[in-house]
């Protein structure tokens, strides 16, 4: 039987979002546009400009256009077509061409500094809706309400709880503990994956372009360097539009180093960031890694040069999660994925589902969350598969050598298919008008976007009919609305 669509009452659930990361902020920005009440609880006591840079283009620009921030984004991000892989000794290993992405979705790929992207999303959420210094400790649900307790003993209640708290999410951990006790958690979700990589991230202050003419070269703003024999590291340098070098150093862990890193992390935090001490000691270990930028005198520089030009409080050691869990929601709690693009795509689909909710009952919410997971599960797996080739290269070893060989010899037609698949998913928010169609390949319109759009149109028609009724009543002095 088809669902009954309730357009008379817009139930407007109250949404509690945990985590003001990229996913949480984008969800807040979208809910803001449709007047759905929400708050964001963030454990940090202030906004810190953390991170390096990321590649973000046509997969997200359609939604930025809907929010009216696409043009601003394009002034703060650097378009790029190629990325380059170099060996530690300077030998060119790989040149990857992403220009087909632009043919597919009408937008170039861009390198954007994470802090700048973060600030852009922050402008879309009123400051009073982000509560800082609120580390979520416990979650509970009763009488069709969700309750959240934070480290300062505050309690927040709402209809929906969104765990957007990044890698090693506390909301996920609490939810899974409950499900495990009730024997309702799939075995594969019992354990966090042992992580096989840690990252050090940061970005320098703006550098003198005369000293670094390479920063003006638009052809190669994205360089990754593979550490040599016995050096289990890869390091990436991005040049940003405002003349900074954003950098990431990956340490590839083996069984022993992974266990040690895991223990160290739990001593300092239950989440994805280590403290400043761990970050500084990783800087010390990696200072002498060569980078492919040259100083004024033509001398080769090292990562240490970049560390010295990066304010210490902007350097952090983080880990990324590599596992895709099977359980994404239960009751009134739902999780939003880690990984910048994945988290933002999840936020868009979730916003569609929340907007289109017919009523605030647990049953309706369960149905919406199930549809959300159904829509996002395969693209999340696909996104992780798409990054597998690059991560295999970055992880080195035998598989890495093989992946490098494949990438060096991949036929053009196959590479184009690969890049097309990378930008295949481009969800949009059905409750906001879509901007001019830029793509050469039609975007796939998702079920949730379609659903939100249908509800938006029904609500709009209903509202204008009601407004029409009022006008007649007003002008004809007592004609009943039923006469229209």
Ligand X SMILES: Cc1cc2nc3c(=O)[nH]c(=O)nc-3n(C[C@H](O)[C@H](O)[C@H](O)COP(=O)(O)OP(=O)(O)OC[C@H]3O[C@@H](n4cnc5c(N)ncnc54)[C@H](O)[C@@H]3O)c2cc1C
Helix H or strand E encompassing 262: helix 255-268
Q: Which of 43, 78, 172, 345 binds ligand X (CB under 6 A)?
A: 43
Q: Which of 180, 181, 136 is nearest to 162 (CA)?
A: 136
Instruction: Take residue 299 and report the two structure tokens written for it.
Output: 């001398």
Nearer to ligand X, 54 or 354 (CB): 54
Nearer to ligand X, 104 or 170 (CB): 170
Rg (CA), the chain: 24
Q: Which of 59, 109, 237, 272 binds ligand X (CB under 6 A)?
A: 272
Check: CB of residue 328 under 8 Å from CB of residue 334: yes
Going by C-beta distance under 8 Å and a sequence separation of 6 or more, which residues neighbour residue 73?
61, 64, 110, 112, 117, 120
Q: Which residues pair with 225 in a beta bridge?
A: 86, 235
Q: Which residue has the tokens 């495990």?
A: 180
Note the residue count of the chain: 484
State the nearest-atom distance from the C-beta of 62 to ligand X, in Å: 19
State the nearest-atom distance from the C-beta of 171 to ligand X, in Å: 7
Stretch 198-227: interaction string toward ligand X, x if CB under 6 A: ---x--------------------------
CA distance 430 to 229: 51
Nearer to ligand X, 51 or 290 (CB): 51
Q: Which of 96, 160, 164, 241 binds ligand X (CB under 6 A)?
A: 164
Q: Which of 166, 379, 427, 443 binds ligand X (CB under 6 A)?
A: 166
Check: CB of residue 81 under 8 Å from CB of residue 98: yes
State the nearest-atom distance from the C-beta of 170 to ligand X, in Å: 3
Number of residues engaging ligand X in binding (CB under 6 A): 36
Q: Which of 169, 140, 183, 180 is nearest to 333 (CA)?
A: 140
Per DSSP (E only), the strands in 164-272 are: 197-203, 222-226, 233-239, 245-252
State the nearest-atom distance from the C-beta of 199 to ligand X, in Å: 7
In 106-254, where does DSSP find H-type helix?
114-122, 170-181
Q: Which residue has the tokens 């004609």?
A: 479
Q: Which of 446, 448, 452 is nearest to 432 (CA)?
A: 452
Which stretch in 63-71, 101-109, 160-168, 282-290 sits in contact with ligand X by CB under 6 A?
160-168
Instruction: Take residue 429 and report the two structure tokens written for it.
Output: 């928010």
- Interface with ligand X, residue 114, by CB under 6 A: yes
* Cβ neighbours of 452 (radius 10 Å): 26
Which stretch in 66-74, 93-101, 129-137, 258-266 sits in contact with ligand X by CB under 6 A?
129-137
- Interface with ligand X, residue 320, by CB under 6 A: yes
Q: What is the footprint of ligand X within residues 68-97 (CB under 6 A)? A: none
- Interface with ligand X, residue 136, by CB under 6 A: yes
Q: Which of 52, 204, 237, 239 binds ligand X (CB under 6 A)?
A: 52
Nearer to ligand X, 135 or 329 (CB): 135
Q: What is the footprint of ligand X within residues 337-356 (CB under 6 A)? A: 338-340, 343
- Interface with ligand X, residue 271, by CB under 6 A: yes
Q: Which of 17, 36, 50, 253 binds ligand X (CB under 6 A)?
A: 50
The residues binding ligand X (CB under 6 A) are 18-24, 41-44, 50-54, 114, 134-136, 164-166, 170, 201, 248, 271-273, 316, 318, 320, 338-340, 343
């Amino acid at each position: 039987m088809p669902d009954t669509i309730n357009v008379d009452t817009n139930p407007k659930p109250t949404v509690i979002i945990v985590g003001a990361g990229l996913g949480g902020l984008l969800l807040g920005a979208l809910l803001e546009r449709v007047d759905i009440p929400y708050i964001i609880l963030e454990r940090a006591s202030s906004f810190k400009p953390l991170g390096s840079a990321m590649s973000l283009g046509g997969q997200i620009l359609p939604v930025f256009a809907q929010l009216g921030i696409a043009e601003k984004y394009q002034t703060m991000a650097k378009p790029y077509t190629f990325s380059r892989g170099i060996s530690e000794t300077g030998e060119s290993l790989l040149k990857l061409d992403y220009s087909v992405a632009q043919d597919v979705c009408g937008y170039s790929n861009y390198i954007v500094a994470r802090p700048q992207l973060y600030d852009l999303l922050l402008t879309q959420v009123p400051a009073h809706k982000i509560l800082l210094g609120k580390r979520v400790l416990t979650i509970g649900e009763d009488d069709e309400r969700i309750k959240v307790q934070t480290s300062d003993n505050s309690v927040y209640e709402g209809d929906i709880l969104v765990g957007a708290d990044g890698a090693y999410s506390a909301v996920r951990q609490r939810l899974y503990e409950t499900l495990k006790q009730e024997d309702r958690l799939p075995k594969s979700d019992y354990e966090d994956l042992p992580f096989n990589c840690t990252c050090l991230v940061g970005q320098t202050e703006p550098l003198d372009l005369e000293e670094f003419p390479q920063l003006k070269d638009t052809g190669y703003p994205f360089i990754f360097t593979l550490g040599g024999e016995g050096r289990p590291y890869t390091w990436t340098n991005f040049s940003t539009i405002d003349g900074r070098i954003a950098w990431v150093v990956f340490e590839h862990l083996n069984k022993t180093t992974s266990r040690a890193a895991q223990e160290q992390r739990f001593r300092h935090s239950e989440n994805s960031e280590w403290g400043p001490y761990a970050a500084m000691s990783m800087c010390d270990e990696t200072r002498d890694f060569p980078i492919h930028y040259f100083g004024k005198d033509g001398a080769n520089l090292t990562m240490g040069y970049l560390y010295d030009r990066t304010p210490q409080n902007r350097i952090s050691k983080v880990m990324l999660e590599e596992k895709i869990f099977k359980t994404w929601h239960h009751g009134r709690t739902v999780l939003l994925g880690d990984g910048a693009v994945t988290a933002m795509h999840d936020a868009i689909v979730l916003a569609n589902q929340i907007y289109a909710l017919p009523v605030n009952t647990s049953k309706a919410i369960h149905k919406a969350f199930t549809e959300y997971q159904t829509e996002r599960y395969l693209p999340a797996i696909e996104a992780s598969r798409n990054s597998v080739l690059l991560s295999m290269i970055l992880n080195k070893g035998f598989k890495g050598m093989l992946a490098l060989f494949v990438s060096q010899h991949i036929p053009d037609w196959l590479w184009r298919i690969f890049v097309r698949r990378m930008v295949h998913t481009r969800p949009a928010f059905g409750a906001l008008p879509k901007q001019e169609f830029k793509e050469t390949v039609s975007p796939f319109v998702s079920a949730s976007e379609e659903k939100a759009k249908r509800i938006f149109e029904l609500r709009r028609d209903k509202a204008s009919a009601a407004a029409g009724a009022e006008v007649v009543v007003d002008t004809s002095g007592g004609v009943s609305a039923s006469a229209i």
